[in-house]
Amino acid sequence: MVELLIACALIMCASLVGVFTVWGKAGSIVEKNLDFLTSFAAGVFLIVAYHLGEETLEHAATAKEGLIWILAGALFIWIIFKLLPLLHTHGHEHAGHTVDPRRLLISDSVHNVGDGIVLAASFVASSALGVAATLSIFFHELVQEISEFFVLREGGYSVRRALSLNFLVSSTVLIGALGAYFLLDLFELIEVPLLGFSAGAFLVVVLGDLIPHSLKATNGYFHTLKHLVWFVLGAALMFAVSTLGGGH
């Protein structure tokens, strides 16, 4: 139990990585390039969605079941932010911005619960496997959380609010970890739905928010090319981290 809590704390600390981008000159550089960094984040989360979808299809009883859960996640996020006006108002902090970070926050919350289940199951199996799973998830989270921070900043959130929300969302790993530790059989049953749900949700975020935002921000051939380069960099980095880490 102590090992599991330490692992969760380490992963939650990854959510604060954005603080390093606001020190000294780094802060002004980041502020001037948030459009490009949003393209970087789009590449990162596209690969995240791909790997989650791949894991869903791999662990589901049938491909049809996996696809149903992926579609369910996509539809849920779309419905929440298109058909419920109370949740889609613009009279708050990110008014005037084309990126709505709330979709990303919900998607990542679901994803983190799934990570918590993986952690608990790994530590129950053995301490060595638990440590390996912790390191793999931690390095994934470093890339994801810095990308999420960029999206929150581009969405109009202050540095403090962006970091606070990142940490709060990251803490949902505890729900999966503690729930699975005490009710492992029950929580293992919802692992595939969580994987598929978060895969579909991330797809909606990338295709419905981040990529359209990048397309609207382009201005001329060279500017478009820079956005494309940042997108490819984000995708390549996340792919490398996922490949080296062996996935979740």
| CA-wise closest residue to 177 among 148, 137, 222 | 137
- The pTM for the full model equals 0.78
Position 229 scores a pLDDT of 94
Q: pLDDT (tens digit, 9 = 90+) per residue, 4-17?
A: 999 999 999 988 88
Residues in the chain, total: 248
Q: pLDDT (tens digit, 9 = 90+) per residue, 41-100?
A: 899 989 989 988 998 999 898 999 999 999 998 998 888 777 654 444 444 444 445 677
Give rounded-to-5 percent helix, strand, coil for the chain: 85, 0, 15
Q: pLDDT (tens digit, 9 = 90+) per residue, 175-226?
A: 989 988 888 777 778 888 888 988 998 898 888 888 888 888 778 888 889 9
Tokens at 127, concatenated: 């301490």
CA 96-99-103 angle, to 5 degrees, is 125
- Buried-state track 43-65, b at ≥16 Cβ within 10 A, e below 16: bbbbbbbbbbbebbbeebeeeeb
Band of pLDDT at residue 107, cut at 50, 70 and 90: confident
What is the chain's alpha carbon radius of gyration, rounded to the nearest angstrom? 18
| CA-wise closest residue to 19 among 123, 136, 149, 113 | 149
